[in-house]
Amino acid sequence: MADLLRLLLRVAEKAANVARVCRQEAPLFQLLVQEKTGEDKNKKFVQDFKTLADVVIQEMIRHDVGARFPEMVGFIHGEESNKFENGLGESVTVTVCSTEADTAKLLATVLDGDHTAASLLAQAIHQDPATIEASTDGLAVPLSPAELGIWIDPIDATSQYIKGREEVLEEGHLSPSGLHCALVLIGAYLRSTGEPVMGVINQPFNHKDPAGGGWRGKHYWGVCCGSVNVCSVSLPKAGPEGEHGPSVVLSSSEKQVVKEALTSLCGPDRLMYASGAGYKILCVILGLADAYVLSEGSTFKWDSCAPHALLRALGGGVVDLTQSLQHISGARDHQTELTYHQASTDCKGANRWANGGGLVAYRDCSHLRSIVSALKGPL
């Protein structure tokens, strides 16, 4: 199944190209950032284009994975629906066609006849990405495609992607907002148990090419199944024991009680804020924070599946916060780890796939335990 990993790395890179093209090519960029002015139809059209970038990327990934592994067709899910309504109120199903010309033709119907924009998008979708550097040689993954399902978030942290603030990243530091928070997330899980087993994260806007060639990305991957635990990120060295509590990253919209309880545990300097659910879990993977705590059910299976697989490969995980709070302290168990195969039957629409109980993403179980006990009283 190392073939699947290589394919996911390739399609994630293609997705990153599409995300970059939408910002680099003037006709697409204008659609992306256009202010919502004018009549209602225009407002809706611009809003739709933002979603279209996501839909197109998701369909491209679904198409490429399904073409190579037909056993997975029907089990490749994502955030977006491919049913799309254009500015004229017509319903169009966005798919990737067998030729670039056909894809361009279909996209033009969604883009209200804007052939330039449609051709640029189709070109990026049908282009082969540059070869991905990933040392997957010799990696044997004991899984078959018929056992797996996939969750795709074509662009996580869309608001940061649209705003497009450029940040120069400092090695070893978390940068709270900006283009670098936008990530392509593709995770694979076991259909039988819902465990996340393989994940690919592509960060399309990691740094600017010093030679002026535009944005360059970065990718990360991990596999965790049976005795195979491999991650492209090596575990950062643990800090000096006992001196501090864990460092924790939160959403800026986190509840005050949670901020207060964690300030007592961690100290005020060790609480950080960042945009993007995927980016916050990536910060934990990279050791820029020890944990990510979220008390609300505002993330979804497609946000956490891919980065969860990387954390598991590093010996950590992502648990349901509400369930963890109900558990007897000290007992480290896998029962509270998030799973990816079952919808919540008591919810409707996208919320069926929400991580409804909130979450804690962690690398080290001892941090998880101290965080859960610190939150037990206040929550």
Residues annotated in a binding site: 79, 153, 155-156, 303
Nearest by Cα to 293 from 277, 314, 308: 277
The active-site residue out of 13, 25, 48, 54 is 54
Give the annotated binding-site residues for Mg(2+).
Answer: 79, 153, 155-156, 303
**Does 158 interact with ligand 2IP (rule: CB under 6 A)?**
yes
The active-site residue out of 103, 158, 299, 336 is 158
**Does 298 interact with ligand 2IP (rule: CB under 6 A)?**
yes
Token pair listed for 354:
């929400």
Q: What residues have CB less than 8 Å from 119, skipping those under 6 apart?
A: 104
- Confirm whether 131 is a catalytic residue: no
Nearest distance, CB of residue 328 and ligand 2IP, angstroms: 29
Token pair listed for 165:
């603030």
The binder of 253, among ligand 2IP, Ca ion, none, by C-beta within 5 to 8 A per type, is ligand 2IP
The binder of 206, among ligand 2IP, Ca ion, none, by C-beta within 5 to 8 A per type, is none
**Does 360 interact with ligand 2IP (rule: CB under 6 A)?**
no
Q: Which residue's structure tokens are 């550097």?
A: 133
Nearest distance, CB of residue 211 and ligand 2IP, angstroms: 31
Binding-site size for ligand 2IP (CB under 6 A) equals 13
| Helices 115-126, 40-68: crossing angle, 10 deg rounding | 20
Question: Would residue 244 be called left, alpha or beta, if left means φ above 0 and alpha means ψ between -120 and 50 degrees?
Answer: beta
Q: What residues have CB less than 8 Å from 334, skipping those under 6 apart?
A: 317
Nearest distance, CB of residue 350 and Ca ion, angstroms: 11
CB atoms within 10 A of CB 243: 7
Give the number of C-alpha atoms closer than 13 A to the C-alpha of residue 307, restricted to the C-beta side: 33
Q: What residues have CB less than 8 Å from 108, skipping those under 6 apart?
A: 114, 115, 118
Nearest distance, CB of residue 352 and ligand 2IP, angstroms: 15
Q: Fill in the per-residue mask, 241 to 270: x = in contact with ligand 2IP (CB under 6 A), - = not in contact.
A: ----------x-x-----------------
Near ligand 2IP by CB under 6 A: residue from 157, 318, 319, 360: 157
Catalytic residues, by residue number, are: 54, 79, 153, 155-156, 158, 303
Q: Where on the chain is the footprint of ligand 2IP (CB under 6 A)?
A: 153, 156-158, 251, 253, 275-278, 298-299, 303
